[in-house]
């Protein structure tokens, strides 16, 4: 079942989070991920896909997405996005995290914000929306208990049942269980009582940072 593949993804991301320290290369993280995935009986979903050489995608700082692991050494202050995909018994699970623990004091942070993708889909289910409604989802606050409940429901559903949900994007039918599981595990690990949902993510911030400074054109 996809839950098993999602569990491997979740545990792999947890392992990588512990290894992502200053001085470690993204290639070393990639090698550690491949060893872990194969030790669990899975295969790295990304490796070899259209020639991609890595087992994970590792994107430091301003690198947008799908970064190829290599000799880049992590430094204090880096923001690193890691995407992991696993194939297990024919099921594919994929999830990503962004590590900012070296610059953000997580133990003193007041608000957990979940960005786009799986988080917004979980929000639509928690809110019991009759269709996907971005304006309603954006800035919604989800209680941890509701996230855990919806995660368990999604993991217990068949692919057909998930596809029939009125707010479900077709591209998320087979990965939403793993994505929800990662969100649930992150909230559990941080002891977060709630998560604020955002329709915007790091790509919006990167795009805005590239806009030249100066007078803005009035809307």
**CATH class name, domain 1-101:** alpha beta
Average pLDDT, the chain: 87
118-128: pLDDT as tens digits: 999 999 999 99
In the prediction, which pLDDT does 128 show? 96
Over the range 168-195, which residues count as b (16 or more CB within 10 Å of their CB) and which as e? beeebbbbbbbbbbbbbbbbeeeebebb
List the domain boundaries for the chain: 1-101, 105-209
- CA dist 162 and 178 (Å) reads 13
d(C-alpha 197, C-alpha 122), whole Å: 9
Identify which has the larger pLDDT, 162 or 207. 162
- Classify domain 105-209 at the CATH topology level: Nucleotidyltransferase; domain 5 (3.30.420)
- Evaluate whether 29 touches 16 at the Cβ level (below 8 Å): yes
pLDDT of residue 189: 73
Scan for tokens 């990639």, then name that residue. 30
Give the span between the Cα atoms of 6 and 2, in whole angstroms.
6
Whether the predicted pLDDT of 193 surpasses 60: yes
Q: How far apart are alpha carbons 162 and 158 in whole angstroms?
A: 6
Percent of the chain with pLDDT strictly greater than 70:
90
Residue 135: the pLDDT is: 94
Query: Average pLDDT, stretch 181-207?
Result: 82
Q: Which residue has the higher pLDDT, 191 or 62?
A: 191
User: Helix or strand or coil: residue 203?
Assistant: helix
**The model's pTM:** 0.53
């Amino acid at each position: 079942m996809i839950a098993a593949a999602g569990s491997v993804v979740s545990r792999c991301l947890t392992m990588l989070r512990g290894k992502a320290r200053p001085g470690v290369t993204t290639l070393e993280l990639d090698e550690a991920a491949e060893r872990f995935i194969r030790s669990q009986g899975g295969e790295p979903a990304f490796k070899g896909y259209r020639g991609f050489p890595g087992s994970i995608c590792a994107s430091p700082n301003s690198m947008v997405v799908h970064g190829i692991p290599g000799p880049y050494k992590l430094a204090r202050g880096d923001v690193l996005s890691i995407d992991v995909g696993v194939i297990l018994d024919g099921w594919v699970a994929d999830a990503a995290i962004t590590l900012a623990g070296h610059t953000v004091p997580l133990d003193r942070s007041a608000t957990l914000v979940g960005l786009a993708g799986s988080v917004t889909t979980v929000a639509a289910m928690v809110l019991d929306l009759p269709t996907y409604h971005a304006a309603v989802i954006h800035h919604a606050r989800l209680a941890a208990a509701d996230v855990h409940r919806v995660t368990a429901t999604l993991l217990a559903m068949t692919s057909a049942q998930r596809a029939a949900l009125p707010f479900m994007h077709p591209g998320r039918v087979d990965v939403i269980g793993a994505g929800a599981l990662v969100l649930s595990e992150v909230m559990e690990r941080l002891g977060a009582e709630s998560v604020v949902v955002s329709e915007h993510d790091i790509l919006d911030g990167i795009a805005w940072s590239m806009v030249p400074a100066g007078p803005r054109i009035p809307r």
